[in-house]
Amino acid sequence: MTDPAPVFPSMPALSGKKVSAAFDGGRITSDGGVLLLAEAERKLGIADRLASLIPDGRDPTRVLHDLADILRARILAIAAGYEDADDLDALRHDPAFKMALGRTPEAKLGLASQPTMSRWENAADLRVAIRLSHELIDLYCDSYTAPPKAITLDIDDTFDAAHGAQQLTFWNGFHGERGYAPIHVYEAESGRPVAFVLRPAKTPSGKEIAGHVRRPIRRIRRHWPETRILLRGDGHYARPEVMDLCEAEDGVDYLFGLPMNAALRRDPVIAATADECAVVRAEKALSVHRTHCETRYAAASWKENARVAIVARTNG
């Protein structure tokens, strides 16, 4: 092997000792990258900010692990790919994880154990959970030095399979197993995370989605009252309750996908545009051709017609 060894970034001293990275043996860890994650977390102050919102009724004289360190260890473990709390029973003595929490590899006291993690994961009630979600939105807003003129928020859900008898799991016919369908909100321009909701793996109702949308929009409004917000989502979110909410909020626009159906196919504007798209593709011998049109549409449950932009696409 002739390639020179990579140059590692400098790391902060720990308990007056220099920290360096090498591959020459000693106490080996496979998670050296967690030290860089720990530095990023400290700069953002995520664990400290979240810990300040959770009541801690423990006797301070008997506390071995403060709440911020418990959360920090859990956050870093998940970020490193250790999703289960019982992974901490082994990781709590890993030298890299101990250093990430400001302890030397030789320190007798390891990190918090799985039972301690699990107790705190179940300690938060609904009020605390909402406060924690608001703090994450505040953290997103604080990442800007000045309010932006406009932002685009992408909302979507994913599937998270559950391999036990966890609470609130639900059978999902599409994925063929039980799990969760957490809803994520990201800012489109920068990819910054904004808000998250853990929920059962079933299609959300319009009322439920409206509640999940209302909270981040109004929290952002507390920081940026003049910022214009565009909410984007797929067909799951094209619900009258969500559109009514966006239209009732000043400075909030929406752009949702809409699955094709028989009523849309019968629309003369859409039909004519689709035919024209096919003709242009054939005349110009194009492999793919796209165009668009605009019409009015309302499902039976909608209070009024909405403006719908249709993208027509033909290919071979």
* Mean pLDDT of all residues belonging to the chain: 86
Angle of the 114-121 helix axis to the 67-79 helix axis, nearest 10:
100
The residue among 216 and 123 whose pLDDT is bigger is: 216
Q: Percent of the chain, pLDDT > 90?
A: 41
Chain CA centroid to CA 314, Å: 34
**Who has greater pLDDT, 313 or 213?**
213
Residue 49 has pLDDT above 90, yes or no: yes
What does the pLDDT read at residue 149?
96
Q: Check whether 165 has a pLDDT greater than 80.
A: no
Least confident stretch, 10-24, 44-58, 265-279: 10-24
Q: Which tokens in the block code for residue 152?
A: 């685009």
Q: Which of 1-10, 161-170, 191-200 holds the top average pLDDT?
A: 191-200
How confident is the model at residue 2, as a pLDDT? 53
pLDDT-derived band at 84, boundaries 50, 70, 90: confident
pLDDT (average), residues 112-133? 89
> DSSP assignment of 29-44, as one string?
-S-TTHHHHHHHHHHH
Sheet of 160-161, strands arranged across: 160-161, 177-180, 170-172
Residues 284-308: tens digit of each pLDDT:
888 888 888 888 877 777 776 666 6
Beta carbons within 10 angstroms of residue 54's beta carbon: 17
64's CB contacts (< 8 A; 6+ apart) are: 109
Mean pLDDT for the stretch of residues 185-212:
92
Can you list the pairs that 48-56 forms with residues at least 24 positions away whose Cβ atoms lie under 8 Å? 49/135, 49/139, 50/132, 50/135, 53/128, 53/131, 53/132, 53/135, 54/120, 54/123, 54/124, 54/128, 54/132, 55/128
Tell me what percent of the chain is helix, strand and coil, each rounded to the nearest 5. Answer: 40, 20, 40
CA distance 272 to 128: 54
For residue range 6-22, what is the model confidence (pLDDT) as tens digits?
A: 555 667 787 888 877 76
Six-digit token string for 59: 């006797």
Q: Could you give the CA distance from residue 69 to residue 3 in angstroms, rounded to a whole number? A: 39
Summarize the confidence of residues 140-149 as an average pLDDT.
95
Give the C-alpha separation, 110 to 91, whole Å.
9
| Residue entry with tokens 């321009």 | 189
- Mean pLDDT computed over 110-126: 88
Q: Point out the least confidently predicted range of 16-30, 47-61, 151-165.
A: 16-30
Q: Residue 139 has what pLDDT?
A: 95
Is pLDDT of 269 > 90?
no
Instruction: Check whether 316 has a pLDDT greater than 60.
Output: no
Residue 315 has pLDDT above 70, yes or no: no
What pLDDT, on a 0 to 100 scale, did the predictor assign at position 26?
61
Report the pLDDT value the prediction gives residue 8, as an integer from 0 to 100: 57
